[in-house]
Amino acid sequence: MKINTGFTLIELMIVVIILAILAAIALPSYQAQVRRGNEKLALQQIADLSMELEKEKTRNFSYEGLNGKSLLAKAGTKTVYTTTVSAELRKWSIKSCVNQTLDDASLYKNFASNSQGATCEWSDTTCTVPSQCQ
């Protein structure tokens, strides 16, 4: 007598359903972790740029020696956030806004910092800096 071994169609369907449920639970958590990681990278870039600006002021007694392009080239470019630097004689500001072409751009936070020590984070799609960070 020949014994058939293997899985039935019902058993395979149950395994597929269990895997689908696990994926549905894990995917949003994974996406949230990626978003938090990108936000931390943006904050780190702002901190690095502000340190470079303060080093420039220590060396030359003003922020004018550095322009935004040279600073951003030093910091590198990111695909998730667009960072801009504005440096004047006695003050600077850095703004890091989420790239609006992302599918879930509304879930990300935008960040700004200035030479007076104000650091802001906000969520909107226009990247309008709050008044306390300008």
- Residues paired with residue 97 on neighbouring β-strands, in sequence order: 82
Nearest of 93, 13, 105, 10 to residue 53 by alpha carbon = 93
pLDDT digits (tens, 9 = 90+) for 4-31: 778 889 999 999 999 999 999 999 899 8
Nearest of 95, 94, 97, 111 to residue 53 by alpha carbon = 94
What's the confidence (pLDDT) of residue 16? Answer: 97
pLDDT digits (tens, 9 = 90+) for 46-99: 888 888 888 888 888 887 766 666 666 665 556 788 888 888 888 888 888 888
